Amino acid sequence: MITRPIRILIVDDHAMIRLGLIGALSCEPDMEVVGQARNGCEAIELHAKLAPDITLMDGILPDRHGVEITREIMEKNSTAKIILVSINETGEDVRRALEAGASGYVPKSSEQDIIVEAIRCVAAGTKFLTPILRNRLDEQNTIVGLSNREVQVLRLVAKGKANKEIAAILALSSDTVKTHLTHLMRKLGAADRAHAVTLAIEQGFLRM
């Protein structure tokens, strides 16, 4: 149980968002912002230097994805407590963040009191998800995930590539590409290629 102020590192590439969070958290007597990072590289360096109690991690940073930075920090410090604060709110986004070691996930559109609640919960050792995100995660857990190769194939389909082009880009045979498409369409319950892309975007497997 933390009896001193909760020491917080804010990671976001937008200065106005960082200032807004600092202003909001400075009103909380049990919280103290000890550092700011503008990108993933700075986040890793400052986390090692400051050892914050909580890190508020933007989901999309200029150099790398927030989930990747979370995973790297957790590999170096398994006791780190990181809350993703992101505009991406699908069940797949939440699943990836939790698998990377995040202790919480909050939509970037959340009100101040939700972020404050998340910080206190995670600092006390409890994982935090808003009810909506928890429901989306539960729904996502019922969906069979796509493999990395299937996502690669589908990303190229979304760019309008034909099977032969996809095969050449990924160094696969055309038959293998067809097999991947058949499998991923079955997993997604898609009627055709275009439908598969739409469903993959909705479920968070693709970012366009």
Please indicate, yes or no, whether residues 133 and 156 belong to a single structural domain of this protein: no
Alpha helices in 57-204 (DSSP H): 66-76, 91-100, 112-123, 131-140, 148-158, 163-170, 174-188, 193-202
Please indicate, yes or no, whether residues 19 and 67 belong to a single structural domain of this protein: yes
pTM of structure: 0.69
Q: Over the stretch 165-177, which tens digit does the pLDDT of each residue have?
A: 999 999 999 999 9
Please indicate, yes or no, whether residues 152 and 135 belong to a single structural domain of this protein: no
The confidence band for 24, taking pLDDT boundaries of 50, 70 and 90, is very high
Residue located via tokens 């082009």: 165
Residue 107: which CATH number? 3.40.50.2300
Residue 158: which CATH number? 1.10.10.10
Please indicate, yes or no, whether residues 15 and 79 belong to a single structural domain of this protein: yes
Please indicate, yes or no, whether residues 72 and 163 belong to a single structural domain of this protein: no
Q: Is the pLDDT of residue 195 over 60?
A: yes
Q: Tell me, what's the pLDDT at 201?
A: 82
Residue 196: domain span: 148-202
107 within domain boundaries: yes
Please indicate, yes or no, whether residues 22 and 79 belong to a single structural domain of this protein: yes
**Strand 104-107, strand 82-86: pairing:** parallel
Please indicate, yes or no, whether residues 118 and 160 belong to a single structural domain of this protein: no
Nearest to 21 by CA among 118, 97, 134: 118
Q: What letter represents residue 60's amino acid?
A: I
The number of domains in the chain is: 2
- Percent of the chain's residues with pLDDT above 70: 95
Q: Over the stretch 122-180, which tens digit does the pLDDT of each residue have?
A: 999 999 998 888 887 776 654 557 777 888 898 899 999 999 999 999 999 999 999 99
207 within domain boundaries: no
Please indicate, yes or no, whether residues 67 and 21 belong to a single structural domain of this protein: yes
